[in-house]
C-alpha cells in the first residue's frame, strides 16, 4: 500500500544548493514558468489510448508486438517507446540508429533533415544515441530524439521529442535590449545579461503544440556574494517572458589551470591530517591526504590515495604543501592553506592540522572520496577530472552550501548551524551537482530539471555513505537534526510535488534508495543507476518531473533486463517496480483491452460480459483486476463486478438479470494495484466529462427507424434552425466524405467516410468537404451551432418508449486548435419543442460510431409531441487562440424507437411437455415441435449468450403445430436461445450447437 505523508517544509536555511532569495515556501519568487502549467498531471489514459490507436503506432506495434509507449500528449509523438529488441544494420551505432529512424519512424513524421547529432555513449550494456533538433538553423528547445541500442545493436527504446509542424516567423520583432529589460524585470542586484541566441520554444497545450521564437538569455545576479544565474526565454515577437528559472549549474567551461600533473617519484613523504570522515558529529581521525600536490624544485608531485609520496629527490630539500590536489583546491577568502617544509632523507611525516582548519581539511578529504566514488561508477567520464575549487567559510551567509557551475561553496559556522563543509554527505551532494552538470555537458545536453538535479545529487551522496539520512546533526545543538531522510515518510508523485526542487527531488532519490533496499544489493542498484544515467531524462523542463521520473523507471528496468526483451520481465523487475511505485512512479498506460459491445439481452437472465486483456511487463506487475461497471436506467451511481480470469488473457463477469424494459449502461476498466482505473472501454467513459458508455436494451422490440437511407419511420427531420449561427458545417443528409488530420488523406479520420447502417449509404453529417484530400477544416463547423431536429413523434400509447441513436463527434483532432472546448448536445421535449430537457451535454469526443440509449420516461413524460434535437457547436471566445475556434465534426445515423416487449414465458410454461427442440446439441439442423394451444407463431429469432440476435430464420412450410426445421449450419459452436415470436408474447428454449 502506498501512503502519502505531508511534512512541513524545512526552513529555507535547509536547502543545499541555491542560496538565492526564496519565498516562504522555499520557492524562488522570481521564477516564471508559462510553458508547463500543471506539473502534477498524470498521463491521460483516454488520450493515450487514442494515440496508440492512431495509424502510425498501430502499424509499428503490429510489426513489433509487445512494444509499449507513452506519448507526448501535446505533440502526439512517442515520447518514450520500449520493447523487445528490433534488429538493425550498420557499421556503427550512429548508422544503426539513423537507419532505424528512417525505416521505422517515418510514419510519425520525424523531421530527419533537422536532426543534429548530440552524442553517442556506450555504457557497456547499452549504447545511447542522442540527437537534437535545429529548425532553419535555430535550436529547438527540448527537441531531442533518442535511440537506445542493446549490445547486439538492436533497438530496445526510442523517444521522439521532436516537431515536424513548426511554423513560426523567424524574424524577431523584439530586439535584444528590450528582451534583456523584460528578462531582468523584478530581479535585484543584476550584474549582467548574456545572450545565448534565438531558440524555438515548443509550448504544449491541451492536445496541441504551439511554437514560439524566443530570445534565450542568462541574467546574472549577485546579492552580497550570493550568485544567481537565471535562464530566460523571452518571446521574440510579443515580448512575453515565457520562462525564468535560476540555474542550479551554469555552462561555463571549467579548467584545472593549476599546472602540470607531474609524474610520481619515490616514497619518502606521508601527508596526514585530522579530518571528519563521516560528519562533524562523528569522531575525527588521522588520514592520509590523497592526491595532494607538493611543489618541490618547481615541480608538482602528487600523493597516492593513502597520502604517501615517493619523491625520488635526495634530502634535505625544500617543499611546499598546499591543500590542493588533482581533484580539489580548498580556499578560504581566496587563499589556499599551505606550509613550507624541509624534507629530510628517508621518511617524512607531514601534518596539515596547524595549517588548515578542520572544515578545510575535511572538505578536501570528502571531495576526494566522492571523486573516487564517481570514477568507480563512470571510469571513462573525465568531466570532473580537475581541481574543483572548494570554497569554505564563506561569510556572506550561514547554514548553506551550493554549486555554481565551477566551484562548490560552504558557509562558515553560524546561525545555529555547523559548517556544512564538515558534513560529508553535503559535500558529496554538492559535488554530485558538478557530476550531473559536466556529464550532461559531455553529451551535448543540459541538466535542466531542478528536481532531478537535487534528487540525483542526493543519490550520489546516499550511495557513498550507504546511509538514508542526509546531514544528520547539521544543527549545532541537535545531533538528531537532519535535512532530508529516505527511510521514513516517502515522497509520492504527484501529490507530494510542491514546486520546490529539493522537496520534489526526494521523490526520485527515494525511488533509487528504495530500489537499493528492495534489492538488498547496493552494487546492483548502482549498476542500474549507471546504465540509466545517460538516458538524459533530466533534459525535461521544470514542471515535467512526472515524465522524467517515468523515463528513469523504464531505463532502470531495461538496465536490469538480461535478454533484450523487457516484455518477458527482468530478473529484479518486481523489486524495481515496487521501489518506484512506493513513490508513485508507475507505468500503467499500455494495457490493451478489447471487448465486443453488447446491445441487447434476455430479460431476467444473467448477462455475460467478456473481455480480452493483454498486458506485458512491467504493466503486468501493476494489474490488480478487471472490473465491469454498470448502472440501470436513470441511476446516477455505478455498481461494479470483478471480472474473473478464465485463462490466458480472457476475463468474464455476469451482470445481474434485469426485467423487461431496462437499459443497462456499462463500461469496463483495468484496475491497478493503487486502486486507479486505466484502459477504460469505451475510452473516456470514466472521466469527469464522460464519453458515452455501452448500453444494453433488455427486453425491447424495435418499432421504428430513421436510417437516412430507406427507412423514414420517425417523420420529418429539419436541418437548421433560425437561431443557428454556424457559418459552415451545417447538418446535411448525404453520403459522407471523409476528412483527415494529415495531408492527402493520411492521418486520423476526422469526419467519417462511412455511415452506420448495414448496406446503407447515407447519414447526417455536418457538411461534406469537397473531397477526402481537402484540408480537414474546409467544411467543419465554424462560428457557432448547427441543429438537427425531429418532428413530433407520438409515443403516448407506449409503456416504455426508448430511443437509440448512433453518433460520431470530434472536437480534438490532431492539429486542431482549442481541442475539447466545444459541445455535443442532445435534448428531448414532450411539448413539441416549447421546452427542452438535456440528454447529452459533453465536450468529450469519440472518433467512432457510438450508440446512446434514452428511455423517454427517465427525462420526460411520454406524449404525442416528443421531439429530439441534436446540436453540434464551434464556440466563439474572443481573445483566446483563434478566438476560441476549434475543428469540430459530427455525424448521426440510425435513430430508432423501441418499446418494451410483452413479458416472455418459457415454452414449457405455455405448453408443458409438448414443445421440443431436437437434436440438442444440434449440428446443422434443429427440429422444433410446436403445440401452443391456439397461439399464433409470428417468427423466430436465434440469440447468442450475449443477448445479440445472430440469426432470424423463417418458419418452414406446414400446418401450425407441425415440426419446424431450422438450418443452424451457419452458427458457430456454442449455446443459444431460440426465441419464438407469438401473438401472445414471446417464448424461449435453449439449445446448443456442437460439431
pLDDT in tens, 643-666: 999 999 999 999 999 999 999 999
Going through 395-455 in order, the beta strands assigned E by DSSP cover 401-403, 408-411
The pLDDT tens digits of the residues spanning 276-326 come to: 999 999 999 999 999 999 999 889 999 999 999 988 888 899 999 999 999
Half-sphere exposure of 851 (CA within 13 A, CB side): 22
12 CA to centre of own chain: 31
The pLDDT tens digits of the residues spanning 449-468 come to: 999 999 999 999 999 999 99
Which H or E element spans position 664?
strand 662-672
396 CA to centre of own chain: 43
- Cα–Cα dist 416/722, whole Å: 77
Residue by residue, DSSP assigns 530-544 as HHHGGG-GGGSPTT-
367 CA to centre of own chain: 38
Q: Which residues pair with 993 in a beta bridge?
A: 922, 974
Contact between 332 and 360 under an 8 Å Cβ cutoff? The reply is yes
Report the percent of the chain where pLDDT is more than 90.
68
Look at 176-190, 193-207, 597-611, 920-934 and tell me which has the smallest mean pLDDT.
920-934
- Interval 479-492 mean pLDDT: 94
Half-sphere exposure of 246 (CA within 13 A, CB side): 24
- Cα–Cα dist 744/750, whole Å: 13
Residue 369's nearest CA partner among 270, 264, 466 is 466
Q: How many CB atoms lie within 10 A of CB 444?
A: 14
- The residues, any chain, with a CB within 8 Å of residue 178's CB and separated by 6 or more, are 239
Q: Which residue has better confidence, 315 or 16? A: 315
CA torsion angle 742 745 746 748 (round to 10): 70
Q: Which residue blocks in 161-251 are alpha helix, DSSP H? A: 176-184
Residue 76's nearest CA partner among 814, 743, 886 is 814
Q: For strand 623-632 and strand 662-672, is the pairing parallel, antiparallel, or unpaired? A: antiparallel
Dihedral over Cα of 478, 479, 480, 483: its sign: positive
- Interval 957-982 mean pLDDT: 74
Residue 365's nearest CA partner among 443, 423, 430 is 423
Q: Which residue has better confidence, 9 or 834? A: 834
Residue 147 corresponds to which cell in the numbers above? 535511440
Residue 519 corresponds to which cell in the numbers above? 534489492
Judged against a pLDDT cut of 50, whether residue 906 lies above it is answered with no
Q: What is the predicted pLDDT for the residue at 214?
A: 97
Q: What is the predicted pLDDT for the residue at 467?
A: 97
Q: Classify burial at 957, counting beta carbons within 10 Å of its beta carbon; exposed 0-12, middle 13-18, buried 19 or more.
A: exposed
Look at 109-123, 201-215, 374-388 and tell me which has the smallest mean pLDDT.
201-215
Q: For strand 985-993 and strand 904-906, is the pairing parallel, antiparallel, or unpaired? A: parallel
Return the SS3 of 380: coil
Query: Please, which pLDDT band fits residue 599 given cuts at 50, 70 and 90?
Result: very high
Judged against a pLDDT cut of 60, whether residue 987 lies above it is answered with yes
Contact between 457 and 433 under an 8 Å Cβ cutoff? The reply is yes
Return the SS3 of 250: coil
Judged against a pLDDT cut of 80, whether residue 936 lies above it is answered with no
Judged against a pLDDT cut of 80, whether residue 532 lies above it is answered with yes
- Cα–Cα dist 96/108, whole Å: 18
Contact between 776 and 724 under an 8 Å Cβ cutoff? The reply is no
- The residues, any chain, with a CB within 8 Å of residue 989's CB and separated by 6 or more, are 906, 907, 915, 917, 928, 977, 978, 980
Residue 430's nearest CA partner among 381, 382, 468, 464 is 464
Judged against a pLDDT cut of 70, whether residue 4 lies above it is answered with no
- Cα–Cα dist 776/255, whole Å: 56
- Cα–Cα dist 407/447, whole Å: 17
- Cα–Cα dist 194/12, whole Å: 29
Return the SS3 of 433: helix
- Interval 797-809 mean pLDDT: 95
- The residues, any chain, with a CB within 8 Å of residue 495's CB and separated by 6 or more, are 4, 40, 584
- The residues, any chain, with a CB within 8 Å of residue 140's CB and separated by 6 or more, are 114, 132, 133, 134, 162, 163, 166, 199, 200, 202
Residue 990 corresponds to which cell in the numbers above? 435453449
Q: Which residue has better confidence, 72 or 927? A: 72
Mean pLDDT of the chain: 88
DSSP state, residue 188: S
Return the SS3 of 93: helix
Q: What is the predicted pLDDT for the residue at 260?
A: 32
Judged against a pLDDT cut of 80, whether residue 743 lies above it is answered with no
Q: How far is CA 893 from CA 711, 716, 752, 851, 870, in A?
A: 11, 14, 12, 9, 12
Contact between 431 and 465 under an 8 Å Cβ cutoff? The reply is no
Q: What is the predicted pLDDT for the residue at 263?
A: 37
Q: Classify burial at 283, counting beta carbons within 10 Å of its beta carbon; exposed 0-12, middle 13-18, buried 19 or more.
A: exposed
Look at 80-94, 809-823, 829-843 and tell me which has the smallest mean pLDDT.
809-823
- Cα–Cα dist 838/655, whole Å: 28
Return the SS3 of 80: strand
pTM: 0.78
- Cα–Cα dist 141/144, whole Å: 8
Q: What is the predicted pLDDT for the residue at 879?
A: 59
Phi, psi of 515 (to 5 degrees): -60, -45
Query: Please, which pLDDT band fits residue 6 given cuts at 50, 70 and 90?
Result: very low
Report the percent of the chain where pLDDT is more than 70.
90
Going through 802-959 in order, the beta strands assigned E by DSSP cover 802-810, 824-829, 837-842, 846-855, 867-873, 889-900, 904-906, 916-918, 925-929, 937-944, 949-951
Q: What is the predicted pLDDT for the residue at 334?
A: 95
- Interval 496-522 mean pLDDT: 95
Q: What is the predicted pLDDT for the residue at 10?
A: 27
- Interval 662-672 mean pLDDT: 94
Angle value at C-alpha 806, between 800 and 808, nearest 5 degrees: 145
Judged against a pLDDT cut of 80, whether residue 348 lies above it is answered with yes
The pLDDT tens digits of the residues spanning 131-178 come to: 999 999 999 999 999 999 999 999 999 999 999 989 999 999 999 999
Look-up of cell digits 540555474: 247
Q: What is the predicted pLDDT for the residue at 193?
A: 95
- Cα–Cα dist 136/157, whole Å: 28
Q: How far is CA 83 from CA 64, 66, 294, 946, in A?
A: 8, 6, 54, 36
- The residues, any chain, with a CB within 8 Å of residue 908's CB and separated by 6 or more, are 915
Judged against a pLDDT cut of 50, whether residue 770 lies above it is answered with yes
The pLDDT tens digits of the residues spanning 720-736 come to: 999 999 999 999 999 99
Q: What is the predicted pLDDT for the residue at 883?
A: 52
- Cα–Cα dist 375/584, whole Å: 31
- Cα–Cα dist 740/864, whole Å: 42
Judged against a pLDDT cut of 50, whether residue 913 lies above it is answered with no
Q: What is the predicted pLDDT for the residue at 255?
A: 29
- Interval 553-568 mean pLDDT: 96
Amino acid at each position: 500500500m502506498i501512503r502519502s505523508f505531508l511534512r512541513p517544509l524545512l526552513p529555507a536555511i535547509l536547502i543545499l544548493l541555491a542560496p538565492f532569495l526564496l519565498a516562504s515556501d522555499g520557492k524562488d519568487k522570481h521564477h516564471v514558468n508559462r510553458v508547463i502549467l500543471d506539473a502534477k498531471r498524470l498521463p491521460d489514459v483516454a488520450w493515450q489510448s487514442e494515440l496508440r490507436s492512431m495509424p502510425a503506432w498501430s502499424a509499428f506495434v503490429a510489426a513489433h508486438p509487445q512494444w509499449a509507449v507513452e506519448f507526448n500528449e501535446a505533440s502526439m509523438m512517442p515520447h518514450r517507446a520500449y520493447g523487445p529488441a528490433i534488429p538493425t544494420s550498420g557499421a556503427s551505432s550512429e548508422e544503426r540508429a539513423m537507419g532505424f529512424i528512417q525505416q521505422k519512424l517515418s510514419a510519425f513524421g520525424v523531421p530527419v533533415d533537422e536532426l543534429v547529432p548530440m552524442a553517442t555513449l556506450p555504457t557497456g550494456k547499452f549504447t545511447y544515441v542522442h540527437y537534437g533538433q535545429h529548425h532553419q538553423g535555430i535550436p529547438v528547445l527540448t527537441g531531442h530524439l533518442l535511440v537506445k541500442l542493446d549490445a547486439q545493436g538492436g533497438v530496445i527504446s526510442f523517444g521522439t521529442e521532436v516537431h515536424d509542424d513548426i511554423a513560426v516567423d523567424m524574424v524577431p520583432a523584439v530586439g535584444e535590449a528590450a528582451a534583456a529589460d523584460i528578462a531582468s524585470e523584478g530581479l535585484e542586484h543584476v550584474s549582467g545579461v548574456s545572450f545565448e541566441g534565438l531558440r524555438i520554444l515548443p509550448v504544449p497545450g491541451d492536445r496541441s503544440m504551439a511554437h514560439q521564437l524566443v530570445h534565450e538569455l542568462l541574467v546574472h545576479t549577485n546579492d552580497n556574494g550570493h550568485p544567481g544565474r537565471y535562464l530566460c526565454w523571452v518571446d521574440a515577437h510579443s515580448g512575453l517572458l515565457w520562462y525564468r528559472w535560476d540555474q542550479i549549474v551554469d555552462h561555463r567551461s571549467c579548467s584545472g589551470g593549476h599546472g602540470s600533473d607531474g609524474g610520481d617519484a619515490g616514497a619518502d613523504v606521508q601527508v596526514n591530517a585530522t579530518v571528519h570522515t563521516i560528519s562533524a558529529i562523528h569522531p575525527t581521525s588521522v588520514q592520509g591526504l590523497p592526491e595532494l600536490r607538493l611543489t618541490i624544485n618547481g615541480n608538482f608531485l602528487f600523493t597516492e590515495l593513502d597520502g604517501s609520496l615517493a619523491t625520488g629527490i635526495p634530502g634535505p630539500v625544500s617543499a611546499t604543501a598546499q591543500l590542493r590536489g588533482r581533484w580539489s583546491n580548498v580556499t578560504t577568502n581566496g587563499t589556499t592553506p599551505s606550509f613550507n617544509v624541509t624534507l629530510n632523507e628517508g621518511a617524512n611525516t607531514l601534518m596539515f592540522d596547524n595549517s588548515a582548519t578542520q572544515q578545510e581539511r575535511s572538505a578536501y578529504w570528502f571531495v576526494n572520496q566522492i571523486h573516487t566514488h564517481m570514477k568507480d561508477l563512470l571510469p571513462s567520464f573525465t568531466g570532473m577530472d580537475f581541481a574543483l575549487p572548494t570554497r569554505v567559510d564563506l561569510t556572506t551567509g550561514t547554514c548553506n552550501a551550493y554549486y555554481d557551475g565551477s566551484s562548490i561553496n560552504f558557509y562558515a559556522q553560524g546561525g545555529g548551524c555547523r559548517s556544512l563543509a564538515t558534513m560529508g554527505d553535503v559535500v558529496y551532494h554538492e559535488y554530485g551537482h558538478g557530476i550531473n552538470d559536466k556529464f550532461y555537458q559531455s553529451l551535448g545536453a543540459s541538466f535542466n530539471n531542478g528536481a532531478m538535479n537535487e534528487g540525483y545529487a542526493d543519490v550520489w551522496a546516499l550511495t557513498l555513505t550507504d546511509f538514508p539520512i542526509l546531514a544528520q546533526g547539521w544543527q549545532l545543538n541537535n545531533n538528531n537534526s537532519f535535512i532530508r531522510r529516505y527511510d521514513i515518510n516517502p515522497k509520492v508523485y504527484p501529490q507530494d510535488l510542491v514546486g520546490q526542487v529539493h522537496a520534489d527531488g526526494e521523490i526520485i532519490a527515494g525511488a533509487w534508495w528504495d530500489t537499493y533496499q528492495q534489492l538488498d544489493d547496493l552494487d546492483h542498484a548502482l549498476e542500474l543507476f549507471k546504465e540509466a544515467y545517460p538516458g538524459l531524462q533530466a533534459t525535461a523542463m521544470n514542471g515535467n518531473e512526472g515524465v522524467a521520473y517515468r523515463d528513469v523507471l523504464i531505463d532502470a528496468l531495461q538496465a536490469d533486463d538480461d535478454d533484450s526483451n523487457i516484455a518477458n520481465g527482468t530478473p529484479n523487475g518486481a523489486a524495481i517496480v515496487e521501489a518506484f511505485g512506493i513513490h508513485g512512479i508507475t507505468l500503467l498506460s499500455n494495457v490493451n483491452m478489447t471487448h465486443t459491445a453488447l446491445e441487447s439481452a434476455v430479460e431476467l437472465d444473467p448477462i455475460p460480459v467478456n473481455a480480452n486483456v493483454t498486458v506485458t511487463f512491467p504493466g503486468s506487475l501493476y494489474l490488480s483486476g478487471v472490473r465491469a461497471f454498470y448502472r440501470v436506467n436513470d441511476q446516477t451511481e455505478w455498481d461494479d463486478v470483478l471480472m474473473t480470469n478464465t485463462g490466458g488473457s480472457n476475463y468474464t463477469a455476469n451482470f445481474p438479470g434485469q426485467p423487461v424494459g431496462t437499459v443497462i449502461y456499462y463500461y469496463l476498466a483495468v484496475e491497478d494495484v493503487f486502486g486507479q482505473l486505466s484502459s477504460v472501454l469505451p475510452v473516456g467513459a470514466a472521466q469527469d466529462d464522460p464519453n458515452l458508455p455501452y448500453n444494453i436494451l433488455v427486453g425491447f422490440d424495435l418499432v421504428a427507424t430513421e436510417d437516412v437511407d430507406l427507412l423514414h419511420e420517425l417523420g420529418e427531420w429539419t436541418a437548421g434552425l433560425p437561431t443557428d449561427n454556424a457559418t459552415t458545417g451545417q447538418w446535411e443528409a448525404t453520403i459522407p466524405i471523409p476528412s483527415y488530420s494529415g495531408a492527402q488523406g493520411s492521418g486520423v479520420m476526422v469526419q467519417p467516410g462511412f455511415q452506420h447502417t448495414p448496406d446503407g449509404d447515407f447519414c447526417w453529417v455536418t457538411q461534406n468537404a469537397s473531397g477526402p484530400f481537402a484540408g480537414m477544416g474546409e467544411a467543419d463547423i465554424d462560428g457557432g451551432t448547427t441543429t438537427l431536429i425531429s418532428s413530433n413523434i407520438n409515443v403516448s400509447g407506449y409503456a416504455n418508449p426508448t430511443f437509440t441513436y448512433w453518433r460520431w463527434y470530434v472536437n480534438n483532432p490532431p492539429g486542431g486548435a482549442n481541442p475539447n472546448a466545444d459541445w455535443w448536445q442532445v435534448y428531448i421535449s414532450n411539448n413539441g419543442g416549447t421546452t427542452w430537457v438535456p440528454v447529452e451535454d459533453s465536450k468529450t469526443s469519440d472518433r467512432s460510431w457510438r450508440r446512446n440509449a434514452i428511455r423517454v420516461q427517465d427525462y420526460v413524460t411520454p406524449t404525442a409531441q416528443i421531439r429530439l434535437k441534436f446540436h453540434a457547436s464551434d464556440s466563439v471566445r474572443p481573445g483566446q487562440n483563434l478566438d476560441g475556434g476549434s475543428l469540430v465534426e459530427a455525424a448521426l445515423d440510425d435513430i430508432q424507437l423501441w418499446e418494451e416487449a410483452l413479458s416472455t414465458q418459457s415454452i414449457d410454461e405455455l405448453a408443458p411437455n409438448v414443445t421440443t427442440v431436437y437434436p440438442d446439441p444440434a449440428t446443422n439442423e434443429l427440429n422444433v415441435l410446436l403445440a401452443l394451444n391456439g397461439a399464433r407463431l409470428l417468427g423466430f429469432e436465434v440469440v447468442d449468450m450475449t443477448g445479440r440476435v445472430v440469426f432470424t430464420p423463417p418458419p418452414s412450410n406446414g400446418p401450425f403445430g407441425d415440426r419446424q426445421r431450422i438450418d443452424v449450419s451457419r452458427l458457430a459452436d456454442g449455446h443459444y436461445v431460440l426465441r419464438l415470436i407469438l401473438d401472445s408474447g414471446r417464448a424461449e428454449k435453449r439449445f446448443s450447437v456442437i460439431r
